[in-house]
């Protein structure tokens, strides 16, 4: 029995995660032991192992899989349940610390989805906890958490003020227990110097339309459903270019199942934030994998405006892209997007000679310090010894070349009027 091609396993994993598409038993019976290892490896990388277990026990219960696979999935589900409890404990700790100094705060994305949208917290694993605070209180909130025992990690070692002006969150913190990463956000999207794109936090009404949920006697604040949907679209399509995996589809599906969306105001916000096409794309993908959704389409747009080819390209990007190699694909995409040789060279020059402001984000030296010039030597050493070999190795992979082509197609469709 020969191994199944990787592309077919990727499609099979998406179908397993779907509540609409059905998996053929003969296809599953034909999988080799190595096929299952590959499939579970993909599921683990994309953090959908617990969800895969859930689907096989519920929506895909008629599909017979090897006993060893089911036992492995069940064990992963139990571990994910324990991790969810740890996350909730740390979230409550952060809430109590910030509440004690009267700093308003909103828990973003995963914290709400796991505990209040999905049918079980284990189904929505979180890499970290994202906490939004008012921009003028971001540094105070960050230092308050440091005083409470949180520790700054090795990422983004630049000056806090420089990071605050150029990123959507400050350098990650790790909890006192050493198990949970925390990002303190001042805004929801990363500032883009080339485009004047408004952020949801620019709206004062954002804080007035939050929703509250109770956990262990504490009242926690979260984005309202409409803002949560828009944030999920921005994060997946416009920030990550779909390298954050298929969980975004189940995120959207469960939010739409849980909440009655105020569609007219939602579509107004997608237009204001230039995210209508990205929203259309993700909703089309949700309907493909989870069936008809209760969406009220505006007069100007509909799901029919999303070609099936674009949906398939986006699905391939969701399941193909690996966060560990996404930066290589992103660089290759930037290079290929420039038709001229001079444009391609300019991409590499910009990476090798970032601005002083960008350097101040990466290294612990102020933007106006002469010490910052010495940091360029560290930057070049890293690029030559680490990033260049990684990039050259990735260019030899056919799947990476396919991802670059898919990314360019996605960019072209998103930018159409």
Mind giving me the DSSP string for 222-249?
E--HHHHHHHHHIIIIIISTT-S-THHH
Q: How many CB atoms lie within 10 A of CB 198?
A: 12
Kindly write down the DSSP assignment for every residue of 317-340, as one continuous string: HHHH--TTTHHHHHHHHHHHT--S
DSSP label at residue 169: B
Beta bridge partners of 354: none
Q: What pLDDT does residue 335 have?
A: 59
| Domain boundaries of the chain, sorted by first residue | 6-78, 224-323, 326-414
* pLDDT at residue 402, as a whole number: 63
Measured on CA atoms in the order 313, 231, 323, 127, is the torsion positive or negative?
A: negative
Q: Which residues share a beta bridge with 222?
A: 107, 211
Q: Which residues pair with 184 in a beta bridge?
A: 131
From 233, 235, 234, 213, select the one nearest 224 (Cα to Cα): 213
Residue-level pLDDT, tens digit, the chain, 417 residues = 567 888 899 999 999 999 998 888 888 999 999 999 999 999 999 999 999 999 999 988 888 899 999 999 999 999 999 999 999 999 999 999 999 999 999 999 999 999 999 999 999 999 999 999 999 999 999 999 999 999 988 665 667 887 787 788 898 999 987 789 999 999 998 776 555 678 889 888 999 999 999 999 999 999 999 999 999 999 999 888 888 899 999 999 999 999 999 999 999 999 888 899 999 999 999 999 999 999 998 877 777 788 889 999 999 888 875 544 455 555 555 655 666 766 666 666 777 777 776 776 667 667 677 777 777 777 777 777 877 676 666 555 545 556 667 777 888 788 775
> pTM above 0.85?
no
3-state secondary structure of 89: helix
Neighbouring-strand partners of residue 132:
106, 185
Predicted confidence at residue 353, as pLDDT, reads 73
42 DSSP 8-state letter: H
Sheet holding 181-185, edge to edge: 151-152, 173-174, 181-185, 128-132, 106-107, 218-222, 211-215
Instruction: Give the C-alpha separation, 241 to 226, whole Å.
Output: 21
Predicted pLDDT of residue 343? 66
The residues near 305 (Cβ < 8 Å, ≥ 6 apart) are: 280
Please give the structure tokens belonging to residue 335: 């290079």
CA distances for 123 relative to 47, 250, 288, 338, 384, angstroms: 9, 10, 21, 41, 40
For residues 163 and 138, the answer to whether their CB atoms sit within 8 Å is no
Beta strands in 239-326 (DSSP E): none
Please tell me the predicted confidence (pLDDT) of residue 79: 96
Q: Which residue has the tokens 């620019």?
A: 202
Angle CA(18)–CA(285)–CA(245) in degrees, nearest 5?
Answer: 70
d(CA 361, CA 380): 16
**Residue where the block lists tokens 């989805």:** 113
């Amino acid at each position: 029995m020969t191994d199944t091609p990787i592309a077919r396993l990727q499609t099979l994993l998406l179908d397993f995660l779907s509540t609409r598409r059905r998996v053929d038993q003969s296809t599953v019976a034909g999988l080799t032991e190595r096929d299952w290892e590959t499939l579970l490896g993909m599921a683990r990388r994309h953090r959908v192992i617990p969800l895969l277990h859930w689907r096989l026990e519920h929506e895909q219960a008629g599909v017979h899989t090897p006993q060893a696979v089911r036992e492995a999935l069940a064990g992963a589900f139990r571990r994910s349940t324990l991790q969810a409890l740890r996350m909730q404990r740390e979230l409550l700790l952060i809430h109590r610390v910030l509440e004690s100094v009267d700093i308003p705060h909103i828990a973003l994305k995963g914290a709400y989805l796991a505990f209040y949208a999905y049918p079980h917290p284990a189904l929505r694993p979180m890499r970290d906890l994202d906490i939004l605070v008012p921009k003028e209180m971001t540094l105070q909130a960050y230092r308050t958490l440091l005083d409470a025992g949180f520790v700054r990690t090795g990422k983004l070692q630049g000056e806090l003020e420089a990071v605050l002006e150029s990123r959507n969150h400050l350098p990650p913190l790790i909890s006192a227990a050493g198990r949970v990463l925390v990002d303190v956000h001042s805004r929801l999207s990363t500032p883009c110097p080339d485009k004047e794109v408004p952020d949801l936090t620019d709206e004062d009404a954002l804080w007035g339309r939050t929703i509250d949920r109770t956990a262990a006697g504490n009242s926690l604040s979260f984005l309202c459903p409409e803002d949560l949907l828009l944030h999920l679209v921005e994060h997946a399509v416009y920030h990550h270019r779909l390298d954050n995996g298929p969980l975004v589809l189940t995120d959207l599906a469960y939010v739409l199942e849980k909440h009655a969306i105020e569609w007219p105001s939602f579509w107004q916000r997608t237009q204001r934030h230039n995210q209508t096409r990205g929203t259309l794309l993700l909703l089309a993908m949700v309907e493909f994998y989870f069936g008809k959704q209760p969406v009220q389409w505006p007069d100007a747009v509909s799901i029919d405006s999303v070609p099936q080819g674009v949906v398939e390209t986006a699905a391939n990007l969701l399941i193909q892209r690996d966060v560990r190699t996404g930066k290589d694909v992103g660089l290759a995409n930037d290079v290929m997007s420039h038709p001229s040789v001079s444009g391609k060279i300019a991409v590499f020059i910009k990476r090798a000679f970032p601005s002083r402001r960008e350097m101040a984000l990466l290294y612990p030296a102020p933007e106006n310090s002469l010490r910052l010039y010495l940091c360029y030597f560290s930057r070049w050493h890293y690029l030559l010894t680490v990033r260049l070999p990684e990039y050259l190795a990735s260019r030899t992979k056919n799947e990476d070349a396919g991802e670059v082509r898919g990314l360019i197609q996605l960019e072209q469709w998103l930018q159409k009027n």
